[in-house]
């Protein structure tokens, strides 16, 4: 009888541990980190649409724009529109910012394009590499690259 009681106690402890682990995981929301470096409008648009869908599902979203994709964050930049909504990637990016996404250009973008932080649309900043690396190492962060 004593072995049976010990076995039941061990099983109960294991179930309790599993339920606590599930609770801890449920309390840590998944985050989406989107890196866009493509200069192709449709690839940029696809990334921004998915980021917008993640925001709509209440996931924290962070976007890093590198290389040619950084151009979509430059104020007064002429950009093509994408169907079916007839919006530019900059307009899509502004919608993400208004929705709470953190948007940055990579640390190399401004010094290598001759642009300044004041050239960027409101809500876009230059990324700090150490901060980006720290964010990427979080277990709840899912990455998406375009």
- Residues 20-29 have pLDDT tens digits of 444 444 567 8
Establish if 98 belongs to a structural domain: yes
Q: What is the mean pLDDT of residues 10-14?
A: 39
Structural domains counted in the chain: 1
User: Confidence class of residue 72 from pLDDT cuts 50, 70 and 90?
Assistant: very high
Whether residue 11 is predicted with pLDDT greater than 50 in this model: the reply is no
> pLDDT, tens digit, for every residue of 41-64?
999 999 999 999 999 999 999 999
pTM, two decimals, is: 0.81
Angstrom distance (rounded) from CA 144 to CA 122: 24
Nearest Cα neighbor of 100 from 45, 54, 36, 37 is 54
Establish if 87 belongs to a structural domain: yes
Whether residue 96 is predicted with pLDDT greater than 90 in this model: the reply is yes
Strand locations in the chain (E)? 31-36, 61-65, 81-82, 87-88, 102-105, 124-126, 141-145
* Spatial CB neighbours of 19, under 8 Å, sequence gap ≥ 6: none
Q: Are 101 and 55 in contact (CB under 8 A)?
A: yes
Establish if 52 belongs to a structural domain: yes
CATH of the domain at 81: 3.40.1260.10
Angle at 104 (CA atoms; ends 27, 61), nearest 5 degrees: 25
């Amino acid at each position: 009888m004593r072995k049976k009681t010990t076995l039941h106690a061990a099983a109960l402890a294991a179930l309790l541990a599993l339920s606590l682990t599930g609770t801890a995981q449920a309390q840590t929301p998944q985050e989406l980190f989107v890196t866009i470096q493509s200069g192709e409008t449709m690839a940029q648009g696809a990334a921004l649409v998915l980021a917008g869908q993640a925001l709509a599902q209440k996931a924290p979203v962070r976007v890093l724009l590198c290389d040619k994709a950084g151009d979509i964050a430059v104020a007064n930049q002429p950009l093509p529109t994408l169907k079916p909504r007839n919006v530019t990637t900059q307009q899509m990016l502004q919608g993400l910012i208004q929705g709470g996404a953190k948007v940055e250009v990579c640390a190399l973008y401004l010094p290598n394009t001759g642009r300044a932080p004041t050239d960027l649309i409101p809500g876009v900043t230059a990324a700090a590499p150490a901060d980006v690396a720290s964010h990427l190492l979080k277990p709840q962060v899912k990455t998406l690259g375009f």
